[in-house]
Structure 1
């Protein structure tokens, strides 16, 4: 589904990624864990076209339909079915919850992607994120931080994507809301949604993921099945702590 090979990227003269390679098979949940500044968010931005890689290949798709996306603009990548729920939520504060969700389906409404039943998907998104249901007509900027995070995730799902990038979905949330976010991720996984997850709570991420990559200083330091990483003494000591 997603293949990243020898990816180099950064910001101007500041090089952040130094030749990373990751794979996200269709229907799986893969997580990137690591300390702040390791390059996780830069990886997500390079994949979704928010920044242009300086070297390497990013391919999305299966079999003969696979296509290189590392030279494409972000709106063209979205049309291919990649949805990005970014760090910091970035909802449209002066628009209603419903209008934010409809914007998530913009590529479908303009026939850049298969349209399907947008209204039915809107109702399903509201049901999946019940905190949004009673606030569907409320301005997004008046929502709590946790509700805005759920809106950002629901908006990504409205693309009817092939792949979802979730960048720090639990950042800044109270523990009870963190649990709800991961319950929703589990639900999406059960529906077969392919996800690449960046998450500060490494233990929770590895509990929901099928496979994991550990990033250090812009490089992949370790990778393997999530269960294997959860039981790795060095990963436990560095990232899981007492929450494991």
Structure 2
């Protein structure tokens, strides 16, 4: 589905990623974990076309997307729920969600029924249904995160990139976000997940990669990584 091969990328002359390879199969959840500054968000930005790549390749359903502009990548079916939420603060919840479906509404990506998917998003995120006419900038941090995730689903995407969906949220909201991710997984949604709570990410994921200093240090089935002593010590608080 999504293949990242020998990818290098960064900012200006500073290279952050050094030839990483990641595969996200159809219908699976793959997580990318690592310490702050390891290159996780840079990976997501490179995949979605927010920053240029310097080497390697990225393909979505066999189509090369490396080097394409973000809006072209979205048309091909890749949705990005970015770090920091980035909702359109002066627009309503309803209009934020419709913007997620913009390529479909312009026939650039004619897939499915937008109206029915809007209702599905409201059902998946009931807090948004209650606040559909409210300005996005007046929502709580947790509600804005839900809006960012719901907006990504409105593309009816092939793959969703979820970058730090639990960042800044209270524990009860973190649990709610991961329940939604688990439900999307059950529905067959393909996801690449970057998450600061490695234990929760590995619990919901099928496969995981550990990123260290812009390189893949360890990879494997999520259950195997959860039981790896080195991964436990470094990212799971040394739990046993």
TM-score of the alignment, normalized to the shorter chain, above 0.5: yes
* Paired position in structure 2 for 1:68: 64
User: What do you get for the CA RMSD once the two structures are aligned?
Assistant: 0.8
Shift of 1:243: 6.2
SS at match of 2:237: helix
SS at match of 1:41: helix
* Paired position in structure 2 for 1:14: 14
Superposed counterparts of 1:1-244, under 5 Å: 1-61=1-61, 66-241=62-237
CA distance in structure 2 between the aligned counterparts of 1:120 and 1:242, rounded to whole angstroms: 45
Q: Deviations along 1:144-195, whole A, 9 cap, x unmatched?
A: 0000000000000000000000000000000000000000000000000000
Q: Deviations along 1:26-71, whole A, 9 cap, x unmatched?
A: 000000000000000000000000011000000110xxxx111002
CA distance in structure 1 between the aligned counterparts of 2:159 and 2:23, rounded to whole angstroms: 12
Paired residues in the alignment total: 240
Shift of 1:133: 1.1
Cα 1:115–1:25 shift into 2, 3 Å: closer
* Runs of 5+ consecutive residues of structure 2 not aligned to the other structure: none
SS at match of 2:53: coil
Q: Deviations along 1:8-31, whole A, 9 cap, x unmatched?
A: 000001110000000000000000
Q: Is the 8 A contact 1:9 1:15 kept in 2?
A: yes
Shift of 1:115: 3.9
Moved over 6 A (4+): none
SS at match of 2:80: strand
SS at match of 2:85: coil
Q: Is the 8 A contact 2:233 2:239 kept in 1?
A: no
SS at match of 2:188: coil
Q: Is the 8 A contact 1:105 1:159 kept in 2?
A: yes
Q: Is the 8 A contact 1:109 1:115 kept in 2?
A: no
- TM norm structure 1: 0.97
Shift of 1:116: 2.1
Q: Is the 8 A contact 2:232 2:239 kept in 1?
A: no
